[in-house]
A and B are shown apart, each in its own frame.
Chain A
Amino acid sequence: MYITELIINGLIQGSLYALVAIGFTMVYGILRLINFAHGDVIMIGAFVTLGLLQLNLSWPILAILVLLIGALVGFTIDRIAFRPMRGAPQVTGFIASLALSLLLQNLGILIFTAQPRNFFLPEFFRKTVLIASLEVRYLSLVIIFSTIILLVLLLLFVKKTRMGIAMRATAENLQVARLMGIKVNHVIMLAFIIGSALAAFAGMLWGGRFGQIDPLMGFVPGLKAFIAAVIGGVGSIAGAAVGGYLLGFSEVLFVGLLPSSMSGFRDAFVFGMLIIILLVMPNGIFGTSEEERA
């Protein structure tokens, strides 16, 4: 039963990382930009949910609203921070995203204070169901299944629709895509919108899972989601999802199977993995980028 609980925890954590990693990888695939502010969209999603919960909406409407607001945030970030920097060297975009991230975090502290806030999801999510003699919350199942559904929808979109194909083309070669008549700026905007919507959605689930939110909650998860994207191969959506689940499982198993005194090393383990992957297998599992990384 202990192992069952670990597996379920791994699936939950993996789903959360996957949702965020997908957004990272979409923007990276097209712009070759590591967007640090992406993690903070999780935080925005969580706080927005907190606000919306006051309105007593039914939860499907709540979820859709969170997705829409996340999309709006993505659009704003692209327009205001990153569009003016198109064409700048890679490192400039990176520092800019770091600046944006700190800006968002400190705005959060300014508006909400650094004090953690309580997060109560509607009653529905807290009911439990018995799986393999373990009581599992509805919320946990929602997290796992909604991630899978969103992932499948996204993969269909990217494979079958015109816009999706345009995105893949732009990711493969931006200049040529532009020459072929694809509106590259629209594609980029779409990448930001979808990615941020997913991150905000993850923020809502994150708050529900742990019960507490604060303005700094998004940064480390964002960083870890980036690591997940790297593991899966940056630029590949399926890769980001796989990377997310791999990372979620590794974390949970690391803490769950090793003696408790070692659990403090979890973050060192995760970052160590990142450095090793960057050096040894820079394209990750599914990545095909020929970019010079090392």
Chain B
Amino acid sequence: MKQKSFSIPAMAILGILGLIFTAVADLMLSSYITSVISFIFLYMILAVSLNITNGFTGLFSLGHPAFMSIGGYVAALLILPVFRKEFFLPDLPPWLAVQQWPFFPAILVGGIVAALVAVIIGYPVLRLKGHYLAVATIGTIFIVRVVLKNTEELTRGALGLNGLGFLSSIWWIYLWLVITVYVAWKLKFSSWGRTMLALRENEMAASCLGINTTMVKIAAFVIGAFFAGISGGLWAHLTTVITPESYSLGLAFNLVVMVVIGGSGSISGALIAAGGISLLVEYLRPLEEALGMYGLGQILISAALLLVLIFRPKGLFGTGELSILRKEITYRSAR
């Protein structure tokens, strides 16, 4: 029996190349360009993690920004130094006001809290299908936003938190990118992954085979939410600002575009599409500013999606992967 996976040497080489690239960026380029590259890496993390929910399992979720917000705020609240909390957030509950965590654990907790919220939201919402699920996840974005805006003691409401430490160095982000890709890789080529793909293809048949579809759907949703929460924490400490409006439906849409163009279910597709599209957006930004033509980048992305949907709905790779990264495992049948 043949089964595909990623070839370990190819992935290792890719990982090392990425590491060298990161080192060069950090040491030799201006900090502005380095943060642009950091954003590109963040988009890759987001696209690959969205692919787990949308691509592998076929759940059309537009909810990533909600989980980014949750992860971002939790991390920010934990990291913010105590003296700043005093005048910035005077009404924090006392147990929170004395916390001052280091970067990595705080980001991790952000992701975990986002994942927990995903479990709670997931149970009711994942019973919906197709575009109704999508609309419900849009609703989640709005609901989370409103809750953040109106719990001023915890979040400063609509003002948001600013002056956050600039802690997301490109190294941290690259580390999380590697983790995300690794998890997606292992997941896709395991029996869990095959179950998710089966669910995507035909949910009814999958449940007839005895698969607990609810568990699988929630698991996919939660894993995606975890990485979204992590990305939120990383993003907030890259831009040093977080407000309830920071992560919007527009961002969710762009992530969906990356997943669709890369091919729903393809990890390398998501990476390439995310890299390409975010590079394009960052490239166009100074142009937009110079010409006063804001919105140009977004128009191009939307148009690109429409064209892809009409002419090549499978995207770049469909559910497959980039060929040089692949490796075929041949099982010898027992003899």
Binding site for B on A (CB under 8 A): 34, 81, 84-85, 88, 90-96, 98-100, 102-103, 105-107, 109-110, 113-114, 223, 226, 264-265, 267-268, 271-272, 274-275, 278-279, 282, 292-294
Contacts and interface: CB of A to CB of B under 8 A. Distances in A.
Given A275-B125, A279-B127, A294-B128, A94 B309 contact: no
B294 A226 contact: no
A95 B301 CA distance: 13
B136 A275 contact: yes
A292 B129 contact: yes
A279 B135 CA distance: 12
A99 B139 CA distance: 18
B131 A94 contact: yes
Contacts of B298: 102-103, 106
Interface of B: 60, 124-125, 127-132, 134-136, 138-140, 142-143, 145-147, 149-150, 250, 253, 256-257, 260, 293-296, 298-299, 301-303, 305-306, 309-310, 313
Q: Quick one: which of A88, A226, A279 has the most chain B CB within 10 A?
A: A279
Contact of B134 (A94, A113, A264, A282): A94
Contacts of A103: 298-299, 302-303, 306
A94 B299 contact: no
A162 B229 CA distance: 54
Given A275-B124, A294-B132, A99 B306 contact: yes
B255 to A, nearest CB: 12
Contacts, number: 111
Contacts of A100: 302, 306
Contacts of B138: 223, 271
Contact of A278 (B136, B146, B260): B136
Contacts of B296: 106, 110
A102 B250 contact: yes
Contact of B310 (A85, A268, A271): A85
Contact of A271 (B131, B142, B149, B303): B142
Q: Which 6 A-B pairs have the closest CB atoms?
A: A106-B295, A268-B146, A271-B139, A103-B302, A109-B295, A94-B131
Specify the main secondary structure of chain A where it touches its partner.
Answer: helix
A247 to B, nearest CB: 14
Q: Quick one: which of A81, A84, A106, A293 has the most chain B CB within 10 A?
A: A106
A292 B129 CA distance: 8
B139 A272 contact: yes
Given A100-B302, A274-B135, A109 B294 contact: yes
Given A100-B302, A272-B139, 9 more contacts: A90-B130, A96-B305, A96-B306, A102-B250, A103-B299, A110-B296, A264-B149, A268-B147, A294-B128
A278 B128 contact: yes
B146 A267 contact: yes
Contacts of B305: 95-96, 99
7 contacts: A85-B310, A91-B131, A106-B299, A110-B294, A278-B128, A278-B136, A282-B132
A80 to B, nearest CB: 9
Contacts of A88: 309, 313
A98 to B, nearest CB: 6
A33 to B, nearest CB: 8
A98 B305 CA distance: 10
Contacts of A95: 256, 260, 305, 309
A272 B144 CA distance: 11
Given A92-B309, A107-B295, A294 B127 contact: yes
A94 B147 contact: no
Contacts of B139: 271-272, 274-275
A265 B294 CA distance: 31
A113 B136 CA distance: 31
